[in-house]
Amino acid sequence: MDLTKTELRIFAKLTVPFKIQEFLDSIPYSDEEWYRCPRSVLQDRKAHCYDGAVFAAATLRMIGYPPLLVDMLPNGRDDDHILAVFRQNNRWGAVAKSNFSGLRFREPVYRGLRELIMSYFEFYYNIAGEKTLVGYTAPLNLNRFDKLNWLVNDDAMDAIAIGLDNNRKYNIITAVMERQLSAIDKRSYNAGLLGANHKGLFKP
């Protein structure tokens, strides 16, 4: 199914990664559990992190980047967080929809994926104040799901989620390091939750 003229006009305005981020920031964070394809994000004007990342990946492809997702993995006491990642001048950046202000856009200045992921470490915490990021997946190229018409088909979103779950995983800290982590400080905690939809927060 092709995009409508109205949908194409919206996508046509998102000409660089930061404009994609601005669009995602302009719509509410969804506290609903079901997944929206990029067309549904446009129609409903809401998204959570998974919907937003797939939307960003679709839009990045339209402006010449591969549609790549990376899943950031918590310790079991938090939600996953998904990024649409891109390379520019041989450096990595990311676009993301998040309920936390520190888990969104990254400029393409990171030499590798691990370096990019580590830039999120201090900002990745749960409502109990625990830092929870412990790993990430290899990038998943959404081109492999084109036969499912994922741009306009909500049903394709489950297959993409399974693909992420099955992708190679990398640890960034050891179990010993995790046990020794300090809690997030109060000022950073409050700053990260600025404007959050509290209904959409993980309850550990």
pLDDT digits (tens, 9 = 90+) for 138-180: 999 999 999 999 999 999 999 999 999 999 999 999 999 999 9
d(CA 164, CA 158): 10
Say what the pLDDT of residue 3 is: 86
Per-residue confidence (pLDDT) for residue 201, from 0 to 100: 96
Write down the mean pLDDT value for the chain. 97
Q: How far apart are CA 135 and CA 143, in angstroms?
A: 24
Q: In whole angstroms, how far apart are CA 68 and each of 39, 57, 83, 127, 153?
A: 18, 6, 8, 29, 18
3-state DSSP: the chain helix, strand, coil percent, rounded to 5?
A: 40, 20, 40
Kindly list the distances between the CA atom of residue 51 and the CA atoms of 23, 150, 151, 156, 167, in Å, as whole numbers in the listed order: 13, 11, 11, 12, 18
The whole-number average pLDDT for the span 64-85 is 98
| Arithmetic mean of pLDDT, 120-130 | 98
162: Cβ contacts below 8 Å, ≥ 6 apart: none
Q: What percent of the chain has pLDDT over 70?
A: 100
Report whether pLDDT(1) > 60: no
